[in-house]
Amino acid sequence: MHTTGNDMVGTTDSAELAELAELAETAGVAELTEVAVAARVRSWLRRRSWRADDWTAAELVAAKGARTVSVVIPARDEEATVGEIVRTIRASLVQRHALVDEVVVVDSRSRDATAAVAAGAGATVVAQDSVLAPLPGLTGKGEALWKGLAATTGDLVVFVDGDLFDFTADYVTGLLGPLLTDADVDYVKGFYHRPLVAEGRADADGGGRVTELVARPLLNMYWPQLAGFVQPLAGEYAGRREVLEAIPFVAHYGVEVAHLIDLLECRGLDALAQVDLGIRTHRHQSTQALGRMAGQIMLTIMDRLDGYGRLLSAEPPSPLLAQFRRGGSGHGHGVDRELLVTDLTVRQRPPLSTVRPAAARTG
Ligand SMILES: O=c1ccn([C@@H]2O[C@H](COP(=O)(O)OP(=O)(O)O)[C@@H](O)[C@H]2O)c(=O)[nH]1
Ligand SMILES: O=C(O)[C@@H](COP(=O)(O)O)O[C@H]1O[C@H](CO)[C@@H](O)[C@H](O)[C@H]1O
């Protein structure tokens, strides 16, 4: 039975109920709701958090049975890292353990040798714009993920970014563990320590800048039931195909935050889980690029607030983001900076199941 995201009773354990009962004696409604959410989150953490080493690949092969598994890697200009990721998955989870049935790299309009490197490592490579080609192509990571979902057939789908350093096969076994052993779990997010490595210097927990400055505060404000996710924007996650094909995919960087909100609303908190994958290092983008990512995530969150009837706003937010860059010449606006204006308009793909009936699913 799936509780709705806003069903405060839902699935609760005895500790949570005891805490609520004690508080109900003394607190006002506001405090009760606040503590109920906190108790709900703590209860969820106890029941829906695992570690990657809770399962071995051999155990998961046994649990897998007749089910099939696809790994989708979105990759735009990832020639430096995508090959090692593919080789690691194939060696450990295709050849040594028959856990993964297909590894698909979605070449997301790369300008480098990403496609050749991925194919050379043994991946199936699909060009983002070649999948469901009659549809006009969209730009962004979420588009690559949606096209990867369309181009694969696995009952379970694992998404792994293509820009990871020090990737291990445990990322995949950890994400699959809850899905292969608990029928109530539909979607699993990875979490990890996220160092920020720049100019040879590493800040042990400096990564996940948009997570810490934008996504976490806003999710806590508007969907506090999701507060237990350690890494809500993690790029490594997995889900059941029938669930993934029933939700929209925001075409750009809003895809991860929209998944969490939409799944909370339609499947309930207990259908979601997270797994400790240890540490994650990846190629970092510039602060200005993350500013655009942050804008896309904020617009996505506002779109969901509006869509779920929680934002009464006569004037929708502007999608235009103005940023300032050192350099350029002849600015003509009196400030010694080059003015950059980016249109962050939220575009999204509908649930795949509404575009193509499951029966027509192609490999
Ligand atoms: O239009 C895009 C943008 C990103 N990506 C891929 O999505 C993953 C995460 O994107 P990125 O590294 O840009 O995000 P970050 O990790 O810096 O937040 C990487 O494998 C990118 O190559 C993609 O396939 N298409
Ligand atoms: O978590 C974050 O703040 C951003 C940026 O991370 P860094 O500050 O470069 O470590 O990275 C994530 O966000 C993107 C948007 O959701 C995801 O698509 C990426 O996979 C993820 O790395």
| 29-51 per-position pLDDT tens digit | 555 566 666 777 788 888 999 99
Helix (H, G, I), strand (E, B) or coil at 178: helix
pLDDT of residue 6: 38
Mean pLDDT of the 339-363 span: 78
Residue whose CA lies nearest to ligand 2 atom number 16: 233
Encoded tokens for 2: 């799936």
* Helix-then-strand count for the chain, H and E: 13, 16
CA distances, 183 to each of 252, 318, 340 (Å):
30, 42, 48
Cα 325 from Cα 288, distance rounded (Å): 9
Residue 77 Cα to chain centre, angstroms: 20
- Amino acid in the structure at residue 24: A
Q: How many CA atoms lie within 13 A of 119 on its CB side?
A: 8
Are residues 171 and 277 in contact, defined by beta-carbon separation less than 8 angstroms? yes
Is 99 close to ligand 2, i.e. is its CB under 6 Å away?
A: no
Q: Is the dihedral of CA 49, 259, 179, 166 positive or negative?
A: negative
Residue 10 has pLDDT above 50, yes or no: no
Prediction pTM value: 0.88
Tell me the percentage of the chain whose pLDDT exceeds 70.
82
Q: Determine the distance separating the centroid of ligand 2 and the alpha carbon of 285, expressed in angstroms.
A: 9
Q: Are strands 49-51 and 272-279 parallel, antiparallel or unpaired?
A: parallel
Q: Which residue's structure tokens are 């969209």?
A: 138
For the chain, give the mean pLDDT: 88
What is the pLDDT confidence band of residue 3, given thresholds at 50, 70 and 90?
very low
Helix (H, G, I), strand (E, B) or coil at 39: helix
Residue 8 has pLDDT above 50, yes or no: no
Phi, psi of 358 (to 5 degrees): -55, -35
pLDDT of residue 42: 80
Residue 189 has pLDDT above 50, yes or no: yes
Residue 109, phi-psi category: left (phi > 0), alpha (psi -120 to 50), beta (remainder): left
Cα 269 from Cα 265, distance rounded (Å): 8
- Sequence-ordered list of residues with C-beta below 8 angstroms from that of 358, at least 6 positions apart, any chain: 242, 245
155-178 pLDDT, tens per residue? 999 999 999 998 999 999 999 999
Is 253 close to ligand 2, i.e. is its CB under 6 Å away?
A: yes
Cα 269 from Cα 11, distance rounded (Å): 9
Are residues 87 and 123 in contact, defined by beta-carbon separation less than 8 angstroms? no
pLDDT of residue 29: 58
pLDDT of residue 84: 98
| DSSP assignment string, 178-191 | HHHH-TT--EEEEE
Are residues 267 and 187 in contact, defined by beta-carbon separation less than 8 angstroms? yes
Residue whose CA lies nearest to ligand 2 atom number 19: 235
Provide the Cα torsion 156, 351, 159, 347; round to 10°.
Answer: 180
Cα 223 from Cα 37, distance rounded (Å): 10
Predicted ipTM of the assembly: 0.97
pLDDT of residue 46: 86
Cα 263 from Cα 246, distance rounded (Å): 10
What is the pLDDT confidence band of residue 334, given thresholds at 50, 70 and 90?
low
70-126 pLDDT, tens per residue? 999 999 999 999 999 999 999 999 999 999 999 999 999 999 999 999 999 999 999
pLDDT of residue 314: 65
What is the pLDDT confidence band of residue 7, given thresholds at 50, 70 and 90?
very low
Which ligand 1 atom sits nearest the alpha carbon of residue 144?
24
Phi, psi of 269 (to 5 degrees): -60, -35
Q: Which residue's structure tokens are 């109530």?
A: 184
More confident residue, 23 or 294: 294
Which ligand 2 atom sits nearest the alpha carbon of residue 211?
3
Is 256 close to ligand 2, i.e. is its CB under 6 Å away?
A: yes
